Amino acid sequence: MKEGTILKLGLTLTAICLAAAAALAVSYRMTKPTIDARARADKLEALRVVLPAAAKFSDRQSGPEIDYYEGRDGSGNLVGYAFPGEAKGYSSTISVMVGVDPEGTITGIKILEQKETPGLGTQAVDVPASRTFWEALLGRGEKGPAGRPPFQEQFAGKTASQLQVVRGKSEDKIEALTGATITSRAVTDAVKESLQTFLKQQKRI
Amino acid sequence: MIRQFTKGIFQRNPVFVLLLGLCPTLAVSTSVGNAIGMGAAATFVLVFSNLIVSLLRKLVPNKIRIPCYIVVIATFVTLVELVLEAYLPDLNASLGLFVPLIVVNCIILGRAEAFASRNAPLVSVVDGLGMGVGFTLALTVLGTIREISGSNTLLGLELIPNFSPAMIMILPPGAFLTIGLLLGLFALLRSRREKGGVSPAGEGS
């Protein structure tokens, strides 16, 4: 191959790559503000869900063991803390946000990220639809506001010692999802471990 | 021109006839919503990569055409990813890894190499659109069957109250069962029409 040809090939490829890079740079700049705003909104939404009593949240406070957020009500009283946790699930790392009141009782949890088996592990984030397909097709039934996933709702009002997964019905423990015991345990472990770490850290301060 | 569009849907349907792009087809067809989202994203990439490849077909030296096509395709996929992340985060979360993997979806490189690099821009766009619609339809058929039989829902809404669906249908084995039956059905229909003609061969996966 002549040197001239190699040069020509290289230059053509360079030109195409440059054009592609320019196009991507422009679109990255255009979408970045929206993506960042959404990430912030998601975080705030998670804090609201896990600590419903709080009206305002502090910035992320760094602790020696675990970072946390402080939640205060309208008049500035401390109503609780929120902190992240994670554990290995069946097919992904599950990350959660946990909210507790100052006494250490869980006020709520929210699964932030998971890639569990669709239809099994993902039941942890599923909200049952309030109406059936046929009702929707005929325009009957209320669409209703999207509720919270029942699996995650179980955690509210529990303390660290009650975080045990059981099969079947239970009043004071965590009921496992049908066919997704590993996911149920992983979520519970993520909550329990981060809660224990946080409480230990609080005692020391 | 119309034939160039419809061939992607019937005679040369990328999934059912050419057997291209089976990996994303099997993976994301767990529900109708996912199927349509994936189909739309792939169609967008297919149309624009066909257009650009066709425009560049006389400028790009033969020796480096494949790297050039890949750069063009990768650019559009990254664009789609940014747009999904910014404006459709729920869909982005459920499609997950399969959006970046559109880059290596053989339908797209296949059409760039086999069609767009040899034809005028307009007809290449039509070809891309037809193939994209064919891909989307195939995904939707699979998604509908799997969502109804595996989750007892359609578009997330319950179909039959108090009915326990066949979980296997939304798991990977269900994908293989469904596509196997559909491919058999398609082959049967075609061989009926050709009256004893040879069964058409796929072009690799």
**CB nearest A119 (choices: B59, B89, B150):** B150
In this prediction, residue A134 carries a pLDDT of 77
The mean of the pLDDT values for chain B is: 85
Strands (E), A37-101: 56-57, 69-72, 78-88, 93-100
State how far the Cα of B73 lies from the Cα of B158, in Å rounded to an integer. Answer: 38
Q: Which residue type is seen at B193? A: R
Q: Which of A42, A119, A134 sits opposite B170 (nearest CB)?
A: A119
Do B157 and A131 make contact, defined as CB atoms within 8 angstroms?
Answer: yes
Q: Mind telling me how many Å the CA of A199 is from chain B's nearest CA? A: 32
The whole-chain average pLDDT of chain A stands at 87
CB A46 within 8 A of CB A111: no
Neighbours of B180 (CB within 10 A): 10
Interface of B with A (CB under 8 A): 30-31, 56, 59-61, 63-64, 67-68, 71-72, 74-75, 78-79, 82-83, 85-87, 89, 96, 150-151, 153-159, 161, 167, 170-171
CB contact (8 A) between residue B67 and residue A20: no
Q: How many CB atoms lie within 10 A of CB A161?
A: 9
Confidence grade of residue B141 (pLDDT, cut at 50, 70, 90) = very high
d(CA B114, CA B49): 13
Is residue B10 scored above 50 in pLDDT? yes
Selected for mutation to probe chain B from A26, A45, A123, A132 (highest B CB count within 10 Å) is: A132
Give the ipTM of the model, two decimals please: 0.72
Q: Please tell me the distance from the alpha carbon of residue A111 to that of residue B86, in angstroms, as a whole number.
A: 20
How far is the C-alpha of A91 from the C-alpha of A108, rounded, in Å?
24
Which residue of chain B has the CA closest to A141? B157
Confidence band for B131, pLDDT divided at 50, 70 and 90: very high
Lowest mean pLDDT segment, chosen from A106-110, A135-139, B25-29, B65-69: A135-139
- Which residue in A has a C-alpha nearest to residue B65's C-alpha? A13
A17, closest residue in chain B (CA to CA): B71
Give the side-chain half-sphere CA count within 13 A for A132: 9
Residues of A in contact with B162 (CB under 8 A): none
pLDDT over 70 (residue A145): no
Determine the pLDDT at residue B129: 94
pLDDT per residue as tens digits for the range A146-203: 678 889 999 999 988 889 998 888 888 899 988 889 999 999 999 999 999 999 988 8
Q: How far is A196 from chain B (nearest CA, A)?
A: 30
Question: Does A12 reach chain B within 8 Å, measured CB to CB?
Answer: yes
**Residue B71 with chain A: CB contacts under 8 Å:** 13, 16-17, 20
pLDDT in tens, B91-125: 887 777 678 878 888 899 999 999 999 999 999 99
The token duo for B92 is 């982005």
Strand B153-154 with A69-72, pairing: unpaired
